């Protein structure tokens, strides 16, 4: 049976070998064992159930939380010649009936359903009449009350074990800390399952955090210098901010569209379809967008606001670079983010024990932002994985950050908070420390306090950094009920008394030219001015539009790059392209070979190689070349 799995890997999916734990996972599921899989986004989780679904007799039932994810995977499978379908609320009654009949007749290899549909008594009775290959529970962290995407419907899935005891179950997720893992095992009754926990590392993602100064212009510069023409996601905390940023970006000339739960359903669907099916679209969104989005060539994820926790950050950044090619996770972070999230948490109606957990998770994320260590090391350590730094693909590794003894500066900053009555915000406190005789300072007579003017050895920017880091370390807190004034905490007093030292991160002054040169070395994608590359992308987009699927369903960027580099001119050569199975070889080889030959004739007329193929696709392919 594993020989059959190897053949399917090569002939259907176009890959020559399994990655990581894939072989062992597939072997266990094929044998009929339950399996729990924790594997990062882009590491090949889908193959872990898609291949057993084709090896084992019967239909595999794939439980997925989002319609977009289901349809995306079905489109991809149909392209490969796999008999797959969805059954969800997007279908009318006639279409749903046809899918059910195909299921009953054994005409489907895989059927994607939502947990709500799966647990309907009528549908469970329907399944009892069918030969089932397996149950795959995707995004399984949704079952856990500690997971950041909790879906109460997932909690009913434990019934599958008792109702279908001989059908193997495979639960999969890309994001789960220890508490979430334990909860998944308990809720889904997976105590006897075999566990496979892969590294959470996404080595192709470059992690970078910038201190907020002018976040919009910082974002604009980042995109201009590193991601011209690339598809990406920009996350904002509120719907209003999403609308503002999308509008601002459009005025700046970017092809940016908004997405949030407040938009009407048709607008959301239209914008999501544009992002999936067009090239170079930037979507500005709240976290309502993203889970289940399978677009492989998202080249960046940018956060203009701090996520709520490390799990959210990991999952959201994991939506870029799913194809394994270079991608950037960029975050603009400042004291206002910490203040806002702590305020939201304090106003939450969640039980106090949940609030405590969420506060710890937020503190972990803030610590990640403020660290001077390798970011990948800190991120992976959070998920219980030991990583030996440096990674050479995060800002701290590429531009090492200095730390400095901040004991005296911290005492000045906190003393100023105390001497002014714990009634003022950062801007006012810095004015006092720098000895500025503003009208407000004179009105409160704070030019007479002992901290007036004692901080002139530090710049305005340095004081902002000092106060940001004190708030991040919970050495100061922000009173949102009193106009954002700073107050001392219990942790403040040991520092004030000189009993505790503190080291501050020295925020780097970035040399933009040096930064861009350094980062460009990691970006090995063809240039947007490359004639053959653009011709291949144009032809891919043309085919995708004619077939009503996203371009990456025709070929992932990784496959297109392989075509660009190898320039195959025969069927045998094209068969060796990454991700090309028998079905894609038959459908697309002649078309793309003709694109290659047409472009090469333009570039090097004397050495152009005529195409050995003369199909209808080959006759039309010259339209794809510039």
CA–CA gap between residue 60 and residue 53 (Å, rounded): 5
- The string of pLDDT tens digits covering residues 120-140 is 999 999 999 999 999 999 988
Q: Which residues contact 214 (CB under 8 A, 6 or more apart)?
A: none
pLDDT band at 9 (very low <50, low <70, confident <90, very high): very high
Q: Identify the residue with better confidence: 436 or 356.
A: 436
Distance, CA of 345 to CA of 356 (rounded, Å): 10
Q: How far apart are CA 322 and CA 439, in angstroms?
A: 55
pLDDT classification of 523: cutoffs 50, 70, 90: low
What per-residue confidence (pLDDT) applies to 616?
42
Of 223, 365, 380, which Cα lies nearest the Cα of 301?
A: 223
**Could you give the domains of the chain?**
2-197 (3.40.50.300), 205-398 (3.40.50.300), 405-498 (1.10.10.10), 531-624 (1.10.150.80)
CA distance 256 to 242: 11
Give per-residue pLDDT as tens, 95-105: 999 999 999 99
Distances from the Cα of 7 to the Cα of 392, 578, 582, angstroms: 37, 15, 11
DSSP 208: E
Where does the pLDDT of residue 513 fall: very low under 50, low under 70, confident under 90, or very high at 90 and above?
low
Tens of pLDDT, residues 437-492: 999 999 999 999 999 999 999 999 999 999 999 988 889 988 877 777 999 999 99
| Cα–Cα distances in angstroms (integers) from residue 187 to residues 37, 143, 476, in the given order | 15, 7, 40
The pLDDT tens digits for 584-625 are: 999 999 999 999 999 988 876 544 444 444 444 433 334 444
What is the model's pLDDT at position 602? Answer: 80
The 10s digit of each residue's pLDDT in 404-425 is 999 999 999 999 999 999 999 9
pLDDT tens digits, 36-84: 999 887 788 999 999 999 999 999 999 988 777 788 889 999 999 999 9
DSSP letters along 140-166, please?
GGGG-TTSTT--GGGGGGGHHHHHSTT
Look at phi and psi of residue 567 and say left if phi exceeds 0, alpha if psi is from -120 to 50, else beta. Answer: left
pLDDT band at 294 (very low <50, low <70, confident <90, very high): confident
Residues 432 and 463 sit within 8 Å (Cβ to Cβ): no
């Amino acid at each position: 049976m594993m020989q059959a799995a190897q053949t399917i890997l090569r002939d259907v999916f176009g890959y020559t070998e399994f990655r990581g734990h894939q072989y062992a996972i597939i072997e266990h599921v094929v044998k009929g064992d339950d399996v729990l899989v924790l594997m990062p986004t882009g590491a090949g989780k889908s193959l872990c159930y898609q291949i057993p679904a084709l090896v084992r007799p019967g239909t595999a039932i794939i439980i997925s939380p989002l319609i977009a994810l289901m349809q995306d995977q079905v489109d991809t499978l149909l392209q490969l010649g796999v008999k797959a379908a969805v059954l969800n609320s997007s279908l009318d009654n006639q279409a749903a009936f046809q899918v059910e009949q195909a299921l009953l007749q054994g005409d489907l290899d895989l059927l994607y359903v939502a947990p709500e549909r799966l647990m309907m008594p009528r549908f469970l009775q329907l399944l009892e009449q069918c030969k089932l290959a397996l149950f795959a529970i995707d995004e399984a962290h949704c079952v856990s009350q500690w997971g950041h995407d909790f879906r109460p419907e997932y909690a009913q899935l434990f019934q599958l074990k008792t109702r279908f005891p001989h059908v193997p179950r495979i639960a999969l997720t890309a994001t789960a800390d220890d508490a979430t893992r334990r909860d998944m095992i308990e809720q889904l009754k997976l105590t006897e399952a075999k566990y496979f926990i892969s590294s959470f590392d996404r080595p192709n993602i470059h992690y970078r955090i910038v201190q907020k100064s002018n976040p919009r212009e910082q974002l604009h510069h980042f995109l201009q210098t590193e991601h011209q023409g690339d598809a990406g996601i920009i996350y904002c905390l509120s719907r209003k901010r999403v609308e503002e940023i999308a509008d601002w970006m459009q005025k700046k000339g970017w092809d940016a569209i908004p997405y949030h739960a407040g938009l009407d359903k048709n607008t959301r669907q239209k914008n999501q379809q544009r992002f999936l099916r067009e090239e170079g679209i930037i979507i500005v969104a709240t976290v309502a967008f993203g889970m289940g989005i399978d677009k492989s060539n998202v080249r960046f994820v940018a956060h203009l606001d701090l996520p709520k926790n490390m799990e959210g950050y990991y999952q959201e950044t994991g939506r870029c670079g799913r194809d394994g090619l270079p991608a950037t996770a960029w975050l603009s972070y400042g004291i206002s983010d910490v203040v806002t999230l702590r305020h939201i948490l304090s106003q939450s109606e969640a039980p106090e024990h949940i609030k405590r957990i969420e506060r710890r998770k937020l503190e972990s994320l803030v610590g990640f932002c403020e660290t001077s260590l390798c970011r990948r090391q800190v991120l992976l350590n959070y998920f219980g994985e030991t990583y030996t730094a440096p990674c050479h693909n995060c800002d701290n590794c590429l531009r090492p950050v200095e730390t400095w003894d901040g004991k005296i500066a911290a005492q000045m900053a906190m003393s100023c908070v105390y001497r002014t009555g714990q009634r003022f915000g950062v801007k006012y406190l810095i004015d006092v420390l720098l000895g500025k005789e503003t009208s407000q300072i004179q009105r409160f007579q704070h030019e007479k306090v002992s901290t007036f003017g004692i901080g002139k050895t530090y710049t305005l920017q340095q004081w902002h950094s000092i106060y940001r880091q004190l708030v991040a370390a919970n050495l100061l807190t922000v009173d949102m009920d009193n106009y954002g004034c700073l107050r001392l905490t219990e942790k403040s007093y040991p520092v004030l008394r000189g009993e505790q030292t503190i080291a501050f991160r020295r925020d780097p002054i970035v040399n933009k030219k040096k930064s861009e040169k350094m980062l460009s070395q990691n970006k090995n994608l063809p240039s947007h001015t490359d004639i053959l590359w653009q011709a291949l992308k144009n032809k891919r987009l043309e085919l995708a539009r004619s077939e009503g699927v996203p371009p990456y369903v025709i070929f992932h960027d990784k496959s297109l790059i392989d075509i660009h580099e190898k320039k195959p001119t025969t069927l045998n050569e094209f068969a060796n392209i990454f991700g090309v199975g028998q079905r894609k070889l038959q459908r697309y080889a002649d078309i793309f070979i003709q694109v290659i030959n047409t472009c090469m004739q333009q570039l090097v007329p004397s050495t152009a190689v005529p195409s050995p193929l003369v199909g209808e696709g080959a006759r039309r392919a010259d339209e794809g070349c510039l």
